């Protein structure tokens, strides 16, 4: 069964901490994405990557960075966590075919910053 695995299901961090969210996929997908999802705002794209060591800003990159050292792993980094970063974070991956096959999502990480 193909999977996108996010390292933590629930996470509680303190304001100012550096937070790492890890995502690993076993489908040999080139494309990987990080979204956050908040009630009433839908999915908002933070960063995405089409290849190893490549990254592109999405719609809301402020306060975040990413790392993609290997094809299967895409990490989201909150440099200094703030309470407004409390959210559900979703990782997704896909083939590079014009979005033709859709995305596969991980199970999500619900992050609470206190």
40 touches another protein by CB under 8 A: yes
Which residues lie closer than 8 Å to 114 by C-beta, 6 or more apart? 12, 13, 14, 15, 83
114 touches another protein by CB under 8 A: no
Give the nearest distance from C-beta 16 to another protein in angstroms: 27
Give the nearest distance from C-beta 99 to another protein in angstroms: 3
Q: Single out the residue of 3, 15, 16, 50 in contact with another protein (rule: CB under 8 A).
A: 50
Give the gyration radius of the chain's Cα atoms.
Answer: 13
Terminal C-alpha separation, the chain: 36
34 touches another protein by CB under 8 A: no
Give the nearest distance from C-beta 60 to another protein in angstroms: 13
């Amino acid at each position: 069964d193909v999977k996108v695995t996010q390292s933590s299901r629930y996470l509680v961090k303190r304001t100012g901490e550096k937070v790492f969210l890890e995502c690993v996929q076993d489908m040999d997908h080139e494309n990987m994405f990080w979204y956050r999802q908040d009630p009433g705002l839908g999915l908002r794209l933070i960063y995405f990557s089409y290849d190893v060591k490549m990254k592109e800003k999405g719609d809301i990159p402020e306060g975040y960075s990413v790392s993609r050292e290997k094809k299967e792993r895409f990490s989201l980094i909150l440099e200094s966590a703030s309470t407004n970063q409390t959210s559900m974070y979703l990782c997704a991956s896909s083939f590079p075919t014009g979005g033709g096959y859709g995305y596969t999502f991980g199970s999500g990480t619900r992050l609470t910053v206190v």
